Amino acid sequence: MLAVGVASASDNCADRESSAADSCNLYLKVKLDEKVKISKLKPGDVLTGTLARDVYSGERRVLPAGSQINLPVDKLERRRRLPNDHWPWVIKVFTPRHENFPVFRSAVATTPAGGQVQLQASALTIYHEVEIHSRPNAKKPSETIVEPSEGSSTSGVETPQSAPPTKGKPGTTVVLEAMESRPQFPSASPEPSRHPVTIASGTQGKIILLGGVSASKSRPGDAFQARLVEPVWLNSEIVLPEGTLVEGTVVKRTPPRMLSRAGSIALTFTKLTLPGGTSNPIEASVSGVEVDQRSHMKVDPEGKIHGDRPGKAWMLINVGVTAGIAKEADDGLQLVIEAIVSTATDASTAGWGRVAATCASAVFLLTRHGRDVILPRFTEMSVTFDRPVSLPAR
């Protein structure tokens, strides 16, 4: 899926590391009607799609799932590419570090009932998106489901642990963070919980990271923050509103290593802060991650995220580079020997050239690192509460 993160230019909620979630912007996920090639977009183009799930501002439902969204492209700007784990470094060296990026200033949402909501918006990130889930009951502990991110409309019950696999190619999805130009107050908003409640172990929540983490750069003990992007329900009540701040730490990480061994990272969530400022300790782990369609990651039942093994394209590229290095080492050594020793010939130096080619190619192959685990800022994740959480009356 192609995901585009958008925030208002005047008030970017995700940039604020505070608990004032009630003043934060809206977080939307839009499924476009057609696939879009970002490099072909021009100012004035309009992207159209539908909301994949309900949109909340705190405890208030602002837009229902199924609402039509129009996104006019205001302009294109140059910005740095997001890091990814798709290609080895030899390809990344020749890949442009910047790309043309569409800027959205506004959006128009039309509800199924015919009402319209004006939104102010500007682009943050664009990537093709799929969601990976751990499968605790799978025969292989590391087996995952890779499927398009459908989003879940709020139905008054707890979100299920996992979604069934979806066949077919991922569609194009736009993820927006925006602000209402003219706030609406729908009457269909449910009542929040006003009495002490306990969130059961196994309950899931959907968050976005407010800072990036990776297996190569993060360290154990590093702290990070995330934001709840849809409410957590208990029966027909909202117990955790959208905008709740979630804090976590990096528990363990293994950077990509030689012999093409992939990296891995384990995250844990330790505290949540409600919009009113009330904090509660929690124990929660990752159960799903929405990543670039070309990424190669998997989530094990313990919530640890692993980079996958190098694919065929990755290995073919490294083998091709190895062959080039071997050829250059062979020819280079022969030229050096023939320049120093006047009696040397191609036949007499061929053996030494082959030795040099073998050593150079072996060193290159053995020192290749595997895939990294890269979770950029605004990555959407599913988390599961590993222990019950008691919340006081609000």
Whole-number Cα distances in Å, 159 to 153, 155, 221: 9, 9, 30
CA 254 remoteness from chain centre: 19
pTM value is 0.74
Query: Which pLDDT belongs to residue 19?
Result: 37
The reported pLDDT for the residue numbered 362 is 85
Beta bridge partners of 285: 268, 384
pLDDT confidence of residue 203: 93
Q: Which residue has the tokens 């297996």?
A: 215
The residue with tokens 């459908």 is 150
Going residue by residue through the chain (394 aa), what tens digit of pLDDT does each one get? 444 444 333 344 444 443 333 344 788 888 888 887 877 889 999 988 888 888 888 888 888 989 999 989 988 888 887 777 777 877 777 788 888 878 888 888 899 988 888 888 765 666 666 777 776 544 433 333 333 333 333 333 333 333 333 334 456 777 777 787 665 544 445 555 667 889 999 999 999 999 899 999 999 999 999 999 889 988 888 899 998 999 999 999 999 998 888 999 999 999 999 887 888 999 999 999 887 777 788 899 888 999 888 877 777 888 888 888 888 887 887 788 778 877 777 777 778 778 888 888 888 888 888 889 989 888 889 999 999 998 887 6
Residue 315 to residue 174: CA distance in whole angstroms: 32
- Evaluate the CA torsion angle 174, 23, 235, 137 in order and state its sign: positive
CATH 2.40.128.260 residue ranges of the chain are: 2-310+371-391
Q: What number does CATH give the domain 2-310+371-391?
A: 2.40.128.260
Phi, psi of 385 (to 5 degrees): -75, 120
Tell me, what's the pLDDT at 156? 35
Integer Cα distance of 20 and 35 in angstroms? 36
Residue-level pLDDT at 341 = 79
Helix (H) / strand (E) containing 275: none
What pLDDT score does 1 carry?
Answer: 45
The pLDDT of residue 119 is 87
